[in-house]
Chain A
Amino acid sequence: DTAVSQTPKYLVTQMGNDKSIKCEQNLGHDTMYWYKQDSKKFLKIMFSYNNKELIINETVPNRFSPKSPDKAHLNLHINSLELGDSAVYFCASSQGNPDSGNTIYFGEGSWLTVV
């Protein structure tokens, strides 16, 4: 059983298109995240949701819009894709705040290539 699952795993699309990445966690966690990993492997938080409420939006362009229909799902919609959006996007979840030592569990990543 995959704890944090995201689809699709690979996505190749043209500039200007709109695409979505879906994420689901079956761990019963109350907090979900989106992270972006660039070509140099650097990982940066994009969004964090707690019980469907947005709590972190880390200066991400408006073209990126997260949606959390319930606390087990956090989807990422990207409008007007640009070449610079090519990256690996990781969904993650945790029960409680990691600053108390709670573990963040990551999905396997969605490899987005914009051509």
Chain B
Amino acid sequence: GDSVTQMEGPVTLSEEACLTINCTYTATGYPSLFWYVQYPGEGLQLLLKATKADDKGSNKGFEATYRKETTSFHLEKGSVQVSDSAVYFCALSSGGGNKLTFGTGTQLKVEL
């Protein structure tokens, strides 16, 4: 079945540091890939997505590239801010399953 593996958190960074959150996946068929963000006490918001190999999704300074050869979709940001503190979820959907399969989430804490 489909699965998503994310690096374990929490990740603690200083403001303006570089961020990478690793995400790899196993899927039947050709999945669409997503990153969602959950701020404290809130629901999930789509951060970015990609639907085919080598596509790069980007939003709010975050980027992720769909790498079919390594089955990965790592999230990156060049300079994090305190306001980026949240839980980040990698997710996929494939094979007509009509659902998202989520990774376990990675908590990011950015300090001044």
Binding site for B on A (CB under 8 A): 4, 31, 33, 40-45, 48, 50, 55-56, 58, 90, 97-101, 103-109
Contact = CB atoms under 8 A, between A and B. Distances in A.
Given A43-B89, A43-B102, A97 B44 contact: no
Nearest to B44: A106
A98 B44 contact: no
21 contacts: A33-B99, A42-B104, A42-B105, A43-B44, A45-B99, A45-B100, A58-B99, A98-B34, A98-B93, A98-B99, A99-B32, A99-B94, A99-B97, A101-B32, A101-B50, A103-B46, A103-B49, A104-B46, A105-B46, A109-B42, A109-B43
Contacts of B46: 103-105
Interface of B: 29, 31-32, 34, 36, 38, 42-46, 49-51, 87, 89, 93-102, 104-105, 107
A44 B38 CA distance: 15
Nearest to A99: B93
Given A31-B98, A33-B99, A99-B32, A108 B93 contact: no
- B34, B49, B51, B100, most chain A CB atoms within 10 A: B100
> Which 8 residue pairs across A and B have the least CB separation, nearest first?
A98-B93, A101-B51, A99-B93, A108-B43, A106-B44, A43-B102, A106-B43, A101-B32
Contacts of A106: 36, 43-45
A50 B96 CA distance: 13
Contact of B99 (A41, A48, A103): A48
Given A103-B46, A106-B44, A109-B43, A98 B98 contact: yes
Contacts of B89: 43
Contacts of A99: 29, 31-32, 93-98
Contacts of B44: 43, 90, 106
A107 B105 contact: no
Contacts of A100: 32, 51
Nearest to A96: B98
A37 to B, nearest CB: 9
A75 to B, nearest CB: 17
